[in-house]
Amino acid sequence: MKNADAIKILLLATINEIAADPQKYAVNPGRDFTRNRKMGFRDTLLILLTMEADCIKEELYRFFGRNTDAPSKAAFYKQRRKLSCGALADMGYASYNNFAHVIENRQFFLIRCNDKKLEGILGRPPGNLKETDCRVERILTRTQSEKKRIRKNCPDRYRHICRAVPMDYLDEKHSEYDIALRIVRFEIRPGCFENIITNLPELEFDFEDFKELYHLRWNEENSFRDLKYPLCLKAFHSRKYEYIVQEIWARAILHNFSSAIISGVDIEKHNTKFEYQANFAEAFKICRDFLRIRDGRTKMEVEGLIAQNIEPVRPGRTFARQHRFKLPVSFCYRN
């Protein structure tokens, strides 16, 4: 048995195990997924895993075939509405509210931030600030009146949080909130600095450790890129939070499924200038099409197709960071 077939069997076995008792994953246990439908619990999970960037109708045709027996959009919406939603948190934003929640839960965080965010924490522009590793203590409050401040002898430590900005630990009973942060700033290349906000202890993580951790994160950055583009995470199929969470988890599972297959493909080595690796964008598409096959008869040379689509490995290449804010693909521009 080939590696790709073994991995698919393992994934489908897990899905079948979940589908055997869908009540654990239903919004209304005992009522949802109790009747036989054209699109059952198992098919609902598989179509979520194999979605691309088209409209719902095209996704249904791609999965079930372009025929009159394909389930309708309404049927799909009704089925996905029955799936319970897991918890999902995005720690990619440097905010006092995020910092406070992690600290109050006695956890650790390490979050990157830009110079503008760092200026707000420090109280001065970081432009002339070179590499540093320091602790700052801040007092958060909703009021700008100095008369209402409890500790008038520490004016530099106060930071005003306006009413429109979430801060769950400031209310009528608690007018101030103390927070201690560690700021690490280091040079990643000449003239370019990275800012880290954290609460990791200095005794366990020194300044040089952060530089090493920064470079180790590159594989994670590549994974996020793969999720957004080859796996079509930039094209959601709903505006509802619960459904967006469903699609994020589905893409993450598809990414792991595909990566396990790709890692087992042997790329032939030749006497060339560069080493070659699988073209991950094409490989993810191949693995998604492979997972979509469920008739038990259609065969697909997954490893061979992946080995045909390769690209050179060019070490040392760097690209300017794109600071543009990219919105998800609009629903109006789907096929």
What pLDDT does residue 90 have?
37
145 in a structural domain: yes
Question: What mean pLDDT is predicted for residues 156-184?
Answer: 94
What is the rounded distance in angstroms from the CA atom of residue 263 to the CA atom of residue 277? 10
Question: What mean pLDDT is predicted for residues 57-72?
Answer: 95
192 in a structural domain: yes
Which DSSP state fits 96?
Answer: H
What pLDDT does residue 333 have?
60
Q: Could you tell me which of 329, 306, 270, 237 has the C-alpha nearest to residue 44?
A: 237
What is the rounded distance in angstroms from the CA atom of residue 277 to the CA atom of residue 105? 42
Residues 79, 100 share a domain:
no
Residues 183, 132 share a domain:
yes
- pTM flag (> 0.75): no
90 in a structural domain: no
Indicate the residue among 153, 178, 205 that finishes a domain: 205
218 in a structural domain: no
Range(s) of the domain holding residue 136: 96-205
Angle between helices 280-292 and 218-228 (to 10 degrees): 50
Q: Are strands 176-189 and 192-198 parallel, antiparallel or unpaired?
A: antiparallel
Question: What mean pLDDT is predicted for residues 99-110?
Answer: 89
First to last CA, the chain: 38
Q: Could you tell me which of 148, 130, 129 has the C-alpha nearest to residue 139?
A: 148
Confidence band for 286, pLDDT divided at 50, 70 and 90: very high
Confidence band for 273, pLDDT divided at 50, 70 and 90: confident
Residues 100, 55 share a domain:
no
Residue 324 clears pLDDT 80, i.e. is over it: no
120 in a structural domain: yes
What is the rounded distance in angstroms from the CA atom of residue 54 to the CA atom of residue 72? 15
Number of domains into which the chain is organized: 2
Residues 229, 200 share a domain:
no
Confidence band for 91, pLDDT divided at 50, 70 and 90: very low
Residues 172, 110 share a domain:
yes
Q: State both tokens at 218.
A: 């590159």
Indicate the residue among 205, 238, 263 that finishes a domain: 205
Confidence band for 323, pLDDT divided at 50, 70 and 90: low
304 in a structural domain: yes
Residues 178, 154 share a domain:
yes
Residues 269, 230 share a domain:
yes
Ordered alpha helix ranges (H), the chain: 3-19, 41-49, 56-64, 73-81, 96-104, 115-122, 207-216, 218-228, 241-262, 280-292, 302-308
Are residues 267 and 278 in contact, defined by beta-carbon separation less than 8 angstroms?
Answer: yes
Residues 286, 231 share a domain:
yes
Residues 184, 105 share a domain:
yes
Are residues 165 and 105 in contact, defined by beta-carbon separation less than 8 angstroms?
Answer: no
215 in a structural domain: no
Question: What mean pLDDT is predicted for residues 151-176?
Answer: 93
Indicate the residue among 170, 205, 240 that finishes a domain: 205
327 in a structural domain: no
When mean pLDDT is compared across 88-92, 224-228, 252-256, 258-262, the lowest value belongs to 88-92
What pLDDT does residue 88 have?
43
Helix (H) or strand (E) holding 186, with range, is: strand 176-189
Q: Are strands 158-160 and 276-278 parallel, antiparallel or unpaired?
A: unpaired
Residues 100, 198 share a domain:
yes
Query: pLDDT of 5-38, one tens digit each?
Result: 999 999 999 999 999 999 988 989 999 999 999 9
Share of the chain above pLDDT 70, in %: 94
Residues 233, 296 share a domain:
yes
Residues 200, 152 share a domain:
yes
Residue 326 clears pLDDT 70, i.e. is over it: no
C-alpha angle 210-248-324 in degrees, rounded to nearest 5: 60
When mean pLDDT is compared across 104-108, 189-193, 271-275, 318-322, the lowest value belongs to 318-322
